[in-house]
A and B are shown apart, each in its own frame.
Chain A
Amino acid sequence: MITELPILKENYIVAFQTGAGLLPYKVVKKEIIPFVYDIMSENGNLPPLSPVTQTITGFSPFFYEFNTLQLTSIQNVQDMFSLTRTNSTQSEVLQVFTGIQPSYVRFIYKQPTTEKLMNMDQNINLSQSFYQQGYDGFISPFNDPSPDTEIFVVPGLSFSMVLVNTVSVPVNPVINFIINRMQVTPIIDSKTINDIQSGRIPAKIVSLGGVFSSVSSYINSSFGGGK
């Protein structure tokens, strides 16, 4: 249920850890957007995912990497999570949760859109022959997205995903995004930033991208990227 998700609210502080410093922002306004996303249809009318470990003619591969999440059938949007609204005083940020149906489909995020999250050392990462990582609809049901699936989008840093069909029949996955669209304003006072880092001022501190990937070069400079 949406009410059980850790939705950021007005006046909350969110601070993004980018690998190149902390970027704190205060939430000015928010708006919740439930968004049912027919991912195969919206990405060029792709056919259903093949049964696990197979690529069958007329079907998409069972393991499918999306470079961006498109909305081609309604607006020809090439990346629905691309944000451009940013300046030195106000920017847009998205807090996103993902549920999926059928429950048999597993997903992981890509952020930036070229890098899979949830990589581990020793080259342990989701692939065609190793698809044990990620969330499925049992963990994050379509109608009840899990708080664990939280991901943030900031100007310049979008996300995409990989889907894996884990069962022996073709499936046509549909996604339910719960999107908290926020207007945020930057916190630039150094004492306040220090207080946020030390914990004296409560804030939600969020990692962007993978643990060892630096995403600062992707973030729009007016939002704080390129530091």
Chain B
Amino acid sequence: MVHSYDLILETASLSGTSSPLLLNGLTGFSVITPDDYVQKIYKLMITNAGTATATVTLTAYPVAGSGLPSYTVATISIPAGDTQVFSEHDFDIILTAGYNLNASISAGTGAIQALAYFEK
């Protein structure tokens, strides 16, 4: 059971460069999955601010120096000017220890917000 008080809001501006989603609310901390936990994405809101349909790529990105590989966890097509919301029922994004969530967009710009939680 996910408690609302355990949810963490992560945000990023989308561009062609893969960027980490950062903690929103206190400061811009990277939300790296700690040891003993996995990070699960509970809800996702993605905006394509561009003038053409674009693909948003979500990447599991390892902490610097860990030697872990990065890998794609989801690719989502968003129409021009549209905002779409996804929930846990639509996807199953799980990041293991040492990983952050990165995002990029194939054309134009946009924004992404994720509600995430850590689970043992």
Contacts and interface: CB of A to CB of B under 8 A. Distances in A.
Contacts of A32: none
Contact of A168 (B3, B6, B29, B120): B29
Nearest to A168: B32
B26 interface: yes
A168 B31 contact: yes
B36 A101 contact: no
How extensive is the interface on chain B, given as a class? 10 to 19
A52 B34 contact: yes
B42 to A, nearest CB: 14
Contact of B29 (A101, A141, A166, A169): A169
B23 interface: yes
A167 B3 contact: no
Contacts, number: 44
Nearest to B116: A169
B36 A168 contact: no
B29 A104 contact: no
B30 A101 contact: no
A82 interface: no
Interface of A: 48, 51-52, 101-104, 137-138, 141-143, 166-170, 174
Interface of B: 3, 5-6, 8, 23, 26-27, 29-34, 36-37, 118, 120
